[in-house]
Amino acid sequence: MNSDKKELILAFETSCDETSVAVVENGEQILSNVIATQINSHKRFGGVVPEVASRHHIEQITLCLQDALSEAAVTYSDLDAVAVTYGPGLVGALLVGVAAAKAVAFAHDLPLIPVNHMAGHIYAARFVAPLEFPALALLVSGGHTELVYLPEPNRYEIVGETRDDAAGEAFDKVGRVLGLTYPAGKEIDELAHKGRDSFDFPRAMLQEDNYDFSFSGLKSAFINTVHHAQQVGQKLEKCDLAASFQQSVVDVLVTKTVRALHAFPVKQLILAGGVAANQGLRRALENELTHFNEVQLIKAPLFLCGDNAAMIGAAGYVAWKNDVSAGLDLNAEPSLEFPWVKGAVK
Amino acid sequence: MKILAIDTSNQPLSIALLEDERLLATTTTNYSKNHSATLMPQIASLMARVGLKPVDIDRIAVAQGPGSYTGLRIGVTTAKTLAFTLDKELVGVSSLAVLAKAVHCEGVVIVPLFDARRENVFAGIYQEKDGKLITLQSDQHVALNELCAELKKYQQVIFVGKDTKKFNAKISDMLMKQNVIFASSELNYPQAYVIGLLALRKCPVEIQNFVPNYLRLTQAEVQWKKKNNGSSFDEPLVEKI
Ligand SMILES: [Zn+2]
């Protein structure tokens, strides 16, 4: 085998409200990563409306494909495989990417690689450094909050996950209560930076002997605090509210991650997902990791924390090299999940 | 000209390959609604059976709507992406016109319809003149009552589509019974061959702008418009980042 061979993957991602197509070389270099975001559209409704998202994807899909190929300066004959997110996500949104990827794979007789969206998020970190195994990943996004153990390439096992809301979901709900525009994560992060953790919101499930998370109690405590203040005509400091909320989320995430690092000795800790862009979380993990000399912290680059197809291309490359492929009957799997780590009780 | 024609607008899945007006192969199934899993394998096997490769196709024709939103998106995304990636022509055909065209009854008013729930239908009003299908009233999302009121002016109306069965009594009630004919059941299912024939006469579309004809805004958008007095949104809804 020629080790200099450049293998190009065309990747599609349409699981939520971003239409993205990318060309990735050898699973490690981004030649193009075109992202069309629907944030403005869903801002109208205060959150993602699935039918609206599906309609936008179909408007955008071949436009993104065209731009991805031209920005990478490649043509179909240069491609080696097509990768696509087939779950988890919104079913109508996933279907557009899956149909488009299958059409391209069929038209040009290319192998089709099904990619789990969460594996994609993990592999956003691949563009920072090669992954070394075993590794642990903390995935935090609007739809998911989970700790994933990677014993070897292309194996993903859930160690713990949220029992109710995803962390990103809690950010959006709290943002709404604070009167911020959707999505509120970035603004809360900025407000938190100026405030103090003075409200002492609950840190859920810290005492429990597992690696699971819960954010609904925090969300309720936050809403109750704000509503009570409104009723008695008391004005609360927005920055302090944001700081207290964020600190509670960060404490829970970091404490459980550290506990998992003790139970699963790994070479790398990967931080990924939309909420991984949160500065408070990034700093807190950096601080904690100074106690783990042998663990390397890899944070997904900010511009790859949100949904994008480059990360699908990177994860797809590893899947492909591990003989994963799909037929033309590939379907969307909106509830796709990694298996649980051996011995874990769900 | 070789045409690949696709209809996934409702439960039936129909695919046809044509060489001009000549039918090369066709398949129609009506047993599942899992078009996402079945469409592409069926296209591949149909093409293999007649020895055609993707590059051999000159034009791709697809039922553009109305119909099930999900079904439409699977068919339209597949057709649109195939046409774009192979650099071939793309044509959209009304999924109601396909049913009307198959009736073949010169001069009589033909009304294909799909159930759109809550006593609403997707329907168009068509007529065949000199062997050509003419649109008297474009496809619309309309209350069954309103549609029937509109149809009162016609001497004779042929209803077609498998959903006409559940409205049979109501339609016969609202219109003069002797003026209404329900097409026989072999005409109630769309045949992609007919899409291919209709597509032969149409001009190719601009692929990048091609989307399904849903004929309805989403609920969220309707409510948003109401709240904002019909004013539009200033920012672009979708942006490249
Ligand atoms: Zn995501």
Structural domain including A234 reads 133-299
Question: Alpha-carbon distance A56 to A300, whole Å?
Answer: 27
In the reported structure, the alpha carbon of residue A306 is separated from the centroid of ligand 1 by a whole-number distance in angstroms of: 6
Nearest CA in chain B to A102: B40
Nearest CA in chain B to A304: B241
Around Cβ A301, how many Cβ atoms within 10 Å? 14
CA count, 13 A, side-chain hemisphere, A51: 15
User: Are both A182 and A280 inside the same structural domain?
Assistant: yes
User: Are both A208 and A284 inside the same structural domain?
Assistant: yes
Average of pLDDT values for A259-275? 94
User: Are both A287 and A316 inside the same structural domain?
Assistant: no
User: Are both B56 and B175 inside the same structural domain?
Assistant: no
Average of pLDDT values for A52-80? 97
Question: Alpha-carbon distance B107 to A17, whole Å?
Answer: 48
Average of pLDDT values for A224-234? 91
User: Are both A106 and A234 inside the same structural domain?
Assistant: no
The domain tally of chain B equals 2
Nearest to A237 by CA among A180, A202, A194, A293: A194
CB contacts, 8 Å: B62 with chain A: none
Question: Alpha-carbon distance A281 to A224, whole Å?
Answer: 25
Structural domain including B157 reads 103-187
User: Are both A144 and A75 inside the same structural domain?
Assistant: no
Residue A346: pLDDT above 80? no
A41 in a structural domain: yes
User: Are both A209 and A256 inside the same structural domain?
Assistant: yes
CB contacts, 8 Å: B238 with chain A: 19, 36-38, 40-41, 56, 59-60
The whole-number pLDDT of residue A1 equals 47
For chain A, give the mean pLDDT: 94
The whole-number pLDDT of residue A5 equals 82
User: Are both A73 and A88 inside the same structural domain?
Assistant: yes
What CATH number does the domain containing B11 carry? 3.30.420.40
The whole-number pLDDT of residue A208 equals 83
The answer to whether A156 touches A148, Cβ cutoff 8 Å, is: yes
User: Are both B34 and B48 inside the same structural domain?
Assistant: yes
Ranges of chain B with pLDDT below 70: 230
DSSP string, B12-39: -EEEEEEETTEEEEEEEE-S-S-HHHHH
Question: Alpha-carbon distance A268 to A162, whole Å?
Answer: 22
User: Are both B173 and B64 inside the same structural domain?
Assistant: no
In the reported structure, the alpha carbon of residue A335 is separated from the centroid of ligand 1 by a whole-number distance in angstroms of: 13
Tell me the residue type at B33: K
Q: How far, in whole angstroms, is CA A80 from its chain's centroid? A: 26
| Residue written as token pair 């690689």 | A113
The whole-number pLDDT of residue B72 equals 97
Q: Which of A49, A58, A106 comes nearest B40 by C-beta?
A: A106
Is A143 annotated as contributing to ligand binding? yes
The whole-number pLDDT of residue A345 equals 54
Average of pLDDT values for A125-151? 95
A145 in a structural domain: yes
User: Are both A112 and A138 inside the same structural domain?
Assistant: no
Average of pLDDT values for A174-194? 90
Question: Alpha-carbon distance A293 to B84, whole Å?
Answer: 52
The domain tally of chain A equals 2
Nearest CA in chain B to A64: B240
The whole-number pLDDT of residue B235 equals 81
pLDDT digits (tens, 9 = 90+) for A194-217: 999 998 898 988 888 889 999 999
Find which of A138-142, A276-280, A329-333 is predicted with most confidence, using mean pLDDT. A329-333
User: Are both A139 and A98 inside the same structural domain?
Assistant: no
Question: Alpha-carbon distance B187 to B100, whole Å?
Answer: 9
DSSP string, A101-160: HHHHHHHTT--EEEEEHHHHHHHGGGGTS---SSEEEEEE-SS-EEEEEESSTT--EEEE
User: Are both A209 and A84 inside the same structural domain?
Assistant: no
